Structure formats: structure tokens, C-alpha cells
């Protein structure tokens, strides 16, 4: 529940801000396009940018409900918040993307396969669209 995330210090209340929502969704759409373009040249970055598209859409969802991520683990905060509104399968994909992206950014080069990158871009498109529907 949202109250649990607040108590855990993962999210903080703020007035709903339609501009922040629109800006975050614009970033999400931009990132999907960029990720799709990179599929043929850099699977790691295509994956990372696809994840970022999903992250930005999740942030838009938070902003629309009057929250923002707080604390040191803001990516986890966004994933957990979005999980309150998305289905279990969608949450699982989002969180797996978060963890894989972390490894690819901080641990090793070339760990994302073509298939994983293509899946991430397609999944990001679906998740961003589902969040857009939730935003109305």
C-alpha cells in the first residue's frame, strides 16, 4: 500500500503536477525511440534506455498521484510504487529490467544479448502504454 511506502521512506507526498507528469512521459517516449535506434549497434545501451523509459513512465505515475521517490533507492521506490497499479507480470518485468540494467551499467560490458535488448524495448513500449492508460 502507498502508506507502507511512505512509512518506509521510499516515497514522499507532493502536490500532483501535470507538467511533471507530461515531462516524464515525454522522456519515456523519447527513450523508447532512442532505445529502438540503438538495437542494431549497442544492446547494452538499448536495454538501459528502454529501462529508463519505463522508469520515467513510473515517475509520471507517481507525480500524477501526488508522490515522488525519496531516499537512496529511488529506482526501487518507483518500481514498488508502480507495482501497486500494474499487474504482477508487469511488475516482475520492470524489476528484472531494473536489476539487469544495474549490472550492465556498473558491473560488466556486453552482458545484454540481442534478444534481451529487443525484449526490453518491446516490454518498455507495453509498460509505458499501460501507464499512459492509467494516467487517463
pLDDT tens digit sequence for 28-85: 999 999 999 999 999 999 999 999 999 999 999 999 999 999 988 899 999 999 999 9
Look up residue 27 and give its three cell numbers. Answer: 522522456
Domain that holds residue 7: 2-135
Burial class of residue 14, CB neighbours in 10 A (0-12, 13-18, 19+):
middle
pTM equals 0.93
C-alpha distances out from residue 90 to 48, 80, 84, 93, 104, Å: 17, 11, 11, 5, 21
**How do residues 91-133 score in pLDDT, each as one tens digit?**
999 999 998 887 777 777 888 999 999 999 999 999 999 999 9
pLDDT score, position 47: 95
DSSP 81: H
Number of domains, the chain: 1
Q: What is the pLDDT of residue 72?
A: 85
Residue 70 is part of a domain; what is its CATH number? 1.20.120.330
Amino acid at each position: 500500500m502507498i502508506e507502507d511506502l511512505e512509512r518506509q521512506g521510499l516515497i514522499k507526498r507532493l502536490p500532483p503536477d501535470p507538467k511533471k507528469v507530461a515531462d516524464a512521459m515525454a522522456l519515456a517516449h523519447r527513450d523508447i525511440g532512442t532505445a529502438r535506434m540503438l538495437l542494431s549497434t549497442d544492446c547494452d545501451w538499448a536495454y538501459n534506455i528502454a529501462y529508463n523509459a519505463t522508469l520515467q513512465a513510473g515517475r509520471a505515475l507517481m507525480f500524477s498521484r501526488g508522490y515522488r521517490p525519496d531516499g537512496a533507492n529511488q529506482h526501487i521506490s518507483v518500481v514498488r510504487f508502480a507495482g501497486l497499479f500494474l499487474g504482477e507480470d508487469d511488475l516482475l518485468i520492470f524489476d528484472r529490467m531494473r536489476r539487469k540494467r544495474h549490472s550492465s551499467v556498473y558491473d560488466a560490458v556486453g552482458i545484454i544479448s540481442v534478444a534481451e535488448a529487443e525484449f526490453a524495448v518491446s516490454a518498455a513500449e507495453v509498460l509505458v502504454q499501460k501507464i499512459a492508460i492509467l494516467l487517463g
